[in-house]
A and B are shown apart, each in its own frame.
Chain A
């Protein structure tokens, strides 16, 4: 049987990109010491906002802006409660997910049932996109290419710039960072808002680049996977991409194996992503040193900035 593996890679890449975008945002937020569990909620807000914008005739750039802003609006609520009012980050993040899910399904009622009038379509890089197996990596839509650029930028920013150093020190020890004269509150707000913008962009990706529609709960739990990917990657941007590809790939593989008629139980195939998660989590916790080295020490702890 002649079986091409390229469509499998394409499917894995398509599934990985929105996860990558959302996880990068959360990674920056967590590097600043804040655990925002509201990714799913912010993604849904971004997805709806961009879909509504396109439906009312806005061009794609404006729709993306709406998606970013909607995600940031959710993040701002999170910031106000956790940074300024020192509320519990876990509880606030969870509420944000519930809030985002509820608001988007309520406001989205009238938008169910038709295709997005404008959407992001793949742009192939000549020659490279015809390569076997890795070809799909060169046939992304603009948001997909943007995800790659953002990943490189975040990696560079965190590792090589003063701003990145400031962000990391805020996440390690806000007390020391403040003593050094860093504006802890301002940096944390910036990080949280960036996380919201990326979640909004990931939502936009689902609504306008991948599914091209609005339905309630469109992101179907992928915000949680993005959160898990950050831990999976031990807070390093490059590894987020590997994790996203792996997760997208494992899900796609389970479905793809069914179509080529491999005699493996579909129940076993359906549990592949979860098995992979268990294996990865076990292998990560085996390397305690790496965990301790990269996990922001002040993650999730409230900090009172007395100015």
Chain B
């Protein structure tokens, strides 16, 4: 972390001295800082954000100088780190985890000239812009594959925290599977952490022990996928392409691709017109995708996935009725779709998900 900050300073000073030597475009680089919840080497969520940061750096060169702080807990510590970055003269600060929401808003109040971008939250302010990726879209596509590949008819989901972002991915995964096999059910295990490979592994073992044979995880490491390979079942990569971790078990990876958005927001800020619009992009906007589909999946299934992907890219909404709740009651009527606001506050399971959603009566 310090290292990269030093590097940032070094880059900045090189840029400055080049400017002093009389080279053209001597404007100060745009200082951008990223706050990461995990290590950049997690191979998942934070790794994907860091790939985005690097892609932006590559696209904009010396016009930007970036730094990051990794492993920042979603507690009071986050506020201290964000405040520190704001005091250090960063003009754009990106806080890349849900739990940073209130800390970001708090710091943003004291630094009106700094633009804050918060990933996956739902509270914005004049200088706090929200951006998010509709990961439920690739989760739905993964579900279609799972529905084809499952022999036991039981899917497993290793989940982090019962927040809408995760609940809707469980729902989408289950809906995708049930669109090809209406008997499929999904078991969910909550691990109460974003990153703990040992615990994620234990959760996957518990699911496999109960008969689940295609797993998806909404956590940040590849432990679930590795466990699936060891136990001879299937799983998916999440956030980053994880095919290399477990080539046999890996069916496909639902990935985030942040680079394009990061480049766009930096360019807008350089042009003096910072982006203020809430962005919630999906497959259509190029913010995520389902990649590296394993050839072991039957041709028919792959065709269905490709067709659905094209539909989603063309504007199809995954949460379109009829959608049943767990008790079989109609939650979304035929022909109706959930609004973005509803998707962003979903606190119920669809039919086919087993167990009770934590915190719900």
Contact = CB atoms under 8 A, between A and B. Distances in A.
Contact of A267 (B71, B197, B202, B358): B358
Interface string B170-195: 00000000000000000111111001
Interface string A183-209: 000000000000000000000001000
B72 to A, nearest CB: 13
Given A211-B198, A215-B42, A216-B42, A259 B189 contact: yes
A224 B317 CA distance: 46
A263 interface: yes
Contacts of A259: 156, 187, 189, 206-207, 209-210, 212
B206 A220 contact: no
Contact of A113 (B43, B198, B356): B43
B222 interface: yes
A7 B197 contact: no
Nearest to B245: A115
A135 interface: no
Given A115-B245, A259-B187, A265-B358, A217 B205 contact: no
Interface string B275-317: 0000000000000000000000000000000000000000000
Interface string B336-361: 00000000000000000011101100
A95 interface: no
Contacts of B207: 259
B202 A260 contact: no
Nearest to B248: A115
Interface stretch (A32-40, A104-112, A144-152): A104-112
A189 B354 CA distance: 55
Contact of A251 (B202, B209, B226): B202
Contacts of B230: 212
B71 A217 contact: yes
B131 interface: no
B44 to A, nearest CB: 8
Interface stretch (A8-16, A157-165, A171-179, A298-306): A8-16
Contacts of B190: 258, 266, 270
A211 B209 contact: no
A4 B207 CA distance: 12
B42 A256 contact: no
A213 B222 CA distance: 9
A246 interface: no
Given A4-B209, A258-B188, A259-B206, A206 B39 contact: no
B39 A215 contact: yes
A213 B42 CA distance: 11
Interface string B147-170: 000000000100000100000000
B246 interface: yes
Nearest to B162: A266
B101 interface: no
Interface string B220-249: 011100100110000000001010111100
A23 interface: no
A11 B209 contact: yes
A252 interface: yes
Interface string A266-277: 110010000000
A218 interface: yes
B41 interface: yes
Interface residues of A, number: 44
Nearest to B47: A112
Contacts of B43: 112-113, 213, 215
A140 to B, nearest CB: 14
Interface in B27-69: 38-43, 47
Contact of B202 (A15, A216, A266): A15
Contact of B223 (A4, A211, A216, A251): A211
A6 B188 CA distance: 20
Given A113-B245, A266-B358, A217 B199 contact: no
A217 B223 CA distance: 13
B144 interface: no
A290 to B, nearest CB: 30
Contact of B39 (A6, A216, A221): A216
A14 B187 CA distance: 22
A251 B39 contact: no
Contacts of B77: none
B203 interface: yes
A11 B199 contact: no
A108 B41 contact: yes
A222 interface: yes
Contacts of A265: 358
B105 interface: no
Nearest to A212: B226
B222 to A, nearest CB: 6
B203 A255 contact: yes
B128 interface: no
B208 interface: yes
B221 A115 contact: no
B40 to A, nearest CB: 7
B41 A260 contact: no
Interface in A226-262: 251-252, 255-256, 258-261
Given A7-B208, A113-B245, A215 B222 contact: yes
A127 interface: no
A229 to B, nearest CB: 15
B134 interface: no
A302 to B, nearest CB: 31
B222 A11 contact: no
* Most interface-central of B3, B196, B198 (chain A CB within 10 A): B198
B201 interface: yes
Contacts of A105: 39, 41
A129 interface: no
B198 A11 contact: no
5 contacts: A215-B197, A217-B39, A220-B198, A222-B198, A255-B203
Given A112-B43, A217-B39, A220-B196, 4 more contacts: A11-B202, A113-B240, A210-B201, A265-B358
Q: Which 9 A-B pairs have CB atoms at the shortest separation, nearest pair first?
A: A7-B209, A216-B39, A216-B41, A114-B244, A270-B192, A112-B41, A259-B210, A266-B358, A256-B206
